[in-house]
Amino acid sequence: MAETTAPEPTRRDFLYIATGGVAAVGAALAAWPFIDQMNPSSAVLALSSIEADISSIQLGQQVVFNWRGHPLFVRRRTPQEIAQSKAVPLSALLDPVARNANLPDSAQATDADRVINPEWIIVVGVCTHLGCTPTVSTPQVPQGEYGGWLCHCHGSQYDVAGRVRHGPAPQNLAVPPYKFLSPTKIKVG
Amino acid sequence: MSGPSTYVPKSGFGRWMDSRLPLMRFAHDTIITYPTPKNLNFWYAFGAILAFMLGIQILTGIVLAMHYVANAGLAFDSVEGIMRNINYGWLIRYMHANGATFFFIAVYIHMFRGLYYGSYKSPREVIWILGVILYLLMVATAFFGYVLPWGQMSFWGATVITNFFSALDQIVPHLGSAISTWLWGGFAVGDATLNRFFSLHYLLPFVIAGVVGLHIWALHVPGNNNPLGIDTKGPQDMLPFHPYYTVKDSFYVALFALVYLAFVFYAPNFFGNPDNYTPANPVVTPPDIVPEWYLLPYYAMLRSVPQKLIGVLVMAGSLLTLAFIPWLDTSKVRSTRFRPMMKQFFWFFVIDCAILGYCGSQSADAVLNLGSFALPLVWVARICTLYYFGFFWVVMPLLGIIEKPKPLPANISQPVLSAAE
């Protein structure tokens, strides 16, 4: 049996590999600033919260605020809409996760876990498919079949709790971190 | 194929330079004496037309960058300033905007020509793959450029396309969103995004020019394919590139420029979307977002799938598939002229792409009314998407085995000579 014997590694081999290794790590470290410079700057991060006065919003009406460059939907739901949303079983949902930044990741997408005060549904108005702004549905001008929102770009539909009911969107509309400062004032972010 | 250099420097300076940097020798061998098959037809002029369009885009682009301001608050107005205030700004901007369209018209014809005559087959696989890379670079450059005027379509097109990456969330949670945020430099498409897109839009055309150099280098090693798809046998089959093809190409470049400039002067907004003359508004999405016409077939494929990740993968796959064509086509015969079955599948494929483009231009819930029968366009797009992939992954490998090609001519002169007899 022919046996191939590698020559014994020398001190010089070790130095080659060690030098090359240090150079590779150095190159990776030097590359990081050039990659990270593209991430949001501290100035952008500092603009991350807003306060909004919601006292003038009527029952059944939606007002759009601008939060972090995204539309923020603040919609005051009618009692019928709340009842209709509560009656939806979890099994009927495409995405059973609450996607509510105020709750643990494991929270389920029940109507109660999508809101803080059931009269107010507050979601980021960015379709979870490819980022368009969905159009609000009203009894006068219905959009889609679920009474919530319809995204015209690719046809996704959401119910009055902002939960996706018809694809291609994979997730419920995101509920941002927010709290009520008073019954008519919210702080988002 | 290029053979040994026949360049002879004529002056003392020429000889001095030739032994130091043989630039003239390189130009002479590449543009003047390069042996070219004598039967190349009109469809082979599109390489020169593409080089011409790249030149136009770089020239007009450099001028536009002198007047454009890459800032979310100023970009839209600076473009309007170019249109209204800068001397001949309207002409240069319309040449650039329509230039993109005609660049893509030329590249699609160039690609279909390569597909028809089997120009991707051995020994020209690398030319084809470099071509696919060039096409992808063109798509990226055009996308970045379309964002710069900062109109509604600019903004929402950028939003939709950068969100493609968020589909990766379905494989590794948060990875996709992190990539999208990184691309934006914020929580949404904004000023930081516009600035980096401008930087990349200025960079990529020079990358394209570099890859074009490789594309031509790779072409000049085996030499041109030809409409018969058979190997050339020797000097009797060839003509020097100059003056034969420099003149022929120039004629078709002029003809192409005539059509292009007719649009620049008489219908400059024909290919544009009126929504892009509305300044970008981050809280209102236009009712129908459509990409530029040259990306509509891919957009139709994306929308035909009701699942986000799979939709994005189908679209990426449709582009990636192009790189595998040299190995998917199992036929030994290059030119479709001698492949009766391939000829039909090929023209079906061309029609298929056109229908996909039409589907992409219509709204997501559009319906085709055929008398009493209503056909949702999304189903048309699904069938066409299936054929798109079927053509490359099923038809191409199978036809090479089951098809009986017509007899090939002995050399490239024979078809002409026998027709004359």
Whether A28 is covered by a domain: the verdict is yes
Which range marks the domain in which residue A33 is found? 9-39
- Tell which residue, A82, A172, A68, has the closest CA to residue B282: A68
User: Average pLDDT, whole number, for chain B?
Assistant: 93
Q: The domain that contains A152 carries what CATH number?
A: 2.102.10.10
Residues A102 and A182 in one domain: yes
Residues A19 and A87 in one domain: no
Residues A53 and A136 in one domain: yes
Torsion, Cα B188 B191 B193 B198, to 10 degrees, reads: 160
Q: Are B159 and A70 an interchain contact pair (Cβ–Cβ within 8 Å)? A: no
- Residue B232 and residue B247: Cα distance in Å, rounded? 22
A155 in contact with chain B, both atoms CB, cutoff 8 A: yes
A69 in contact with chain B, both atoms CB, cutoff 8 A: yes
Helix ranges, B125-184 (H) = 125-147, 152-162, 175-184
- Contact list in A for residue B308 (CB cut-off 8 A) is 128-130, 167-170
Element at B370 (helix H, strand E) = strand B367-370
pLDDT tens profile B227-279 = 999 999 989 999 999 999 999 999 999 999 999 999 999 999 999 999 999 99
Residues A177 and A135 in one domain: yes
Whether A2 is covered by a domain: the verdict is no
Residues A55 and A16 in one domain: no
pLDDT tens profile B97-107 = 999 999 999 99
The answer to whether B335 and B412 are in contact (CB under 8 A) is: no
Q: Are A154 and B364 an interchain contact pair (Cβ–Cβ within 8 Å)? A: yes
Q: Are A133 and B285 an interchain contact pair (Cβ–Cβ within 8 Å)? A: yes
Residues A31 and A114 in one domain: no
Query: Number of folded domains in chain A?
Result: 2
* Length of chain B measured in residues: 421
What is the structure's pLDDT at B168? 85
Which value does ipTM take for this structure?
A: 0.71
- pLDDT interval class at B307 (50, 70, 90): confident
Residues A50 and A140 in one domain: yes
Q: pTM for the whole thing?
A: 0.86
Whether A32 is covered by a domain: the verdict is yes
Q: Are B163 and A131 an interchain contact pair (Cβ–Cβ within 8 Å)? A: yes
Q: Could you write out the three-class secondary structure of chain A?
A: CCCCCCCCCCHHHHHHHHHHHHHHHHHHHHHHHHHHCCCCCHHHHHCCCEEEECCCCCCCCEEEEEECCEEEEEEECCHHHHHHHHCCCHHHCCCCECCECCCCCCCECCCHHHCCCCCEEEEECCCCCCCCCCEECCCCCCCCCCEEEECCCCCCEEECCCCEEECCCCCCCCECCEEEEECCEEEEC
Residues of chain A with pLDDT under 70: 1-3
Residues A69 and A111 in one domain: yes
Whether A1 is covered by a domain: the verdict is no
Residues A56 and A114 in one domain: yes
Q: Is the peptide bond before A89 cis (omega within 30 degrees of 0)?
A: no
What is the structure's pLDDT at B1? 45
What is the structure's pLDDT at B336? 96
A130 in contact with chain B, both atoms CB, cutoff 8 A: yes
Element at B286 (helix H, strand E) = none
- List A129, A152, A154, A166, catalytic entry: A154
Residues A98 and A139 in one domain: yes
Whether A148 is covered by a domain: the verdict is yes
What is the structure's pLDDT at A3? 66
Residue B8 in 3-state DSSP?
coil
Query: Mean pLDDT throughout B213-233?
Result: 95
Residues A114 and A155 in one domain: yes
What is the structure's pLDDT at B195? 96
pLDDT exceeds 50 at position B25: yes
Residues A75 and A15 in one domain: no
Whether A3 is covered by a domain: the verdict is no
Whether A80 is covered by a domain: the verdict is yes
Whether A129 is catalytic is no
Whether A140 is covered by a domain: the verdict is yes
